[in-house]
């Protein structure tokens, strides 16, 4: 009889956790999930802005790498992402905090971009190491999804992750728009022998600085979340 009552309570709880418009609206308007989504979105610049478009011309024109070397540097970001998920998950388990590892990832990303911007004579293999590390750091998104699942009922995790991912990836458009417009506004009308546009270092510095700036804003968001909700499992 006791077991029957427990089963009934579990069934009632699962019924209340069904995917409905009301539950979806609750997820969308949940302050913690919104902060996670927006703060995580500000950190997608490495993948969406740099790796997707600008890594090749940046290293070709500023570091004077060959096309093969520049494309290899970009590929190493994606290769780093292949192994970054388990590495960051292990660190989150080691430190007993996903949010701390996310903050460390963002700060490390800012330091790598600072190094790339303010000293352009790094060796090829050190740049490769930087790019591989950036790929690992991009996997902070795995931890963002992990935090999200801890904030909603089990039956709503897929919906919550989908919504968070949607908001996260929408920031890719923001980075493409910002970087592209800044580069265009600073273009001096020069073309390479192959017909591609040539940009000076200042153009890259100003445009790509939006990536570490976005990471800084994301860090502030996660720090606020950590301090505002200390009792919530993050």
DSSP string, 129-177: HHHHHHHHHTTHHHHHHHHHHTTS-GGGHHHHHHHHHHHHHHHHHHHHH
Enter the DSSP assignment of 96: T
Higher-pLDDT residue of 5 and 72 is: 72
Is residue 14 one of the residues assigned to a domain? Answer: no
Q: Measuring CA to CA, which residue among 101, 69, 106, 107 is closest to residue 88? A: 101
Alpha carbons 113 and 199: distance in angstroms, whole number: 18
Q: Is residue 152 part of a domain?
A: yes
Is residue 139 within 8 Å of 88, Cβ to Cβ? yes
Contact indicator for 186, 207 with CB cutoff of 8 Å: yes
- Position 166 in a domain: yes
Q: How far apart are CA 25 and CA 231, in angstroms?
A: 24
**Contact (Cβ atoms closer than 8 angstroms) between residue 105 and residue 95:** no
pLDDT digits (tens, 9 = 90+) for 125-146: 999 999 999 999 999 999 999 8
Confidence (pLDDT) at 6: 43
Assigned domain for 23 exists: no
Tell me, what CATH number does 59's domain have? 1.20.1250.20
* pLDDT tens, residue by residue, 11-30: 444 444 566 777 777 787 78
**pLDDT, tens digit (0-9, with 9 covering 90-100), for 144-167:** 998 988 888 887 888 888 889 899
Instruction: Render the burial of 81-92: b for 16+ CB within 10 Å, e for the rest.
Output: beebbeebbebb
Q: What is the pTM of this model?
A: 0.85
Residues paired with residue 197 on neighbouring β-strands, in sequence order: 191
The total domain count for the chain is: 1
Please check whether residue 123 lies inside any domain of the structure: yes
Residue 6 lies in a domain: no
Range of the domain at 96: 36-228
Q: Does some domain include residue 122?
A: yes
How far is 158 from 149, CA to CA, in rounded Å? 8
Residue 8 covered by a domain = no
């Amino acid at each position: 009889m006791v077991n029957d009552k427990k089963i009934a309570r579990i069934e009632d709880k699962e019924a209340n956790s069904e995917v409905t418009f009301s539950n979806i609206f609750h997820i969308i308007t949940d302050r913690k999930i919104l902060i996670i989504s927006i703060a995580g979105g500000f950190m997608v610049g490495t993948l969406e802005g740099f790796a997707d478009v600008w890594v090749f011309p940046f290293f070709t024109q500023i570091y004077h790498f060959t096309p093969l070397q520049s494309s290899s540097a970009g590929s190493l970001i994606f290769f780093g992402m292949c192994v970054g998920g388990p590495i960051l998950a292990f660190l989150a388990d080691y430190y007993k905090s996903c949010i701390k590892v996310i903050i460390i990832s963002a700060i490390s990303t800012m330091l790598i971009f600072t190094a790339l911007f303010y000293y352009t004579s790094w060796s090829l293999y050190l740049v490769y190491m930087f790019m591989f590390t950036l790929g690992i750091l991009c996997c902070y998104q795995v931890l963002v999804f992990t935090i999200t699942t801890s904030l909603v009922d089990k039956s709503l995790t897929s919906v919550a992750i989908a919504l968070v991912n949607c908001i996260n990836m929408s920031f890719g458009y923001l980075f493409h728009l910002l970087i592209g417009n800044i580069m265009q506004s600073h273009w001096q009308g020069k073309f390479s022998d192959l017909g591609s546009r040539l940009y000076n270092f200042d153009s890259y510095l100003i445009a790509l600085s939006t990536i570490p700036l976005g990471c800084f804003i994301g860090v502030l968001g996660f720090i606020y979340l950590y301090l505002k909700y200390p009792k919530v499992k993050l």
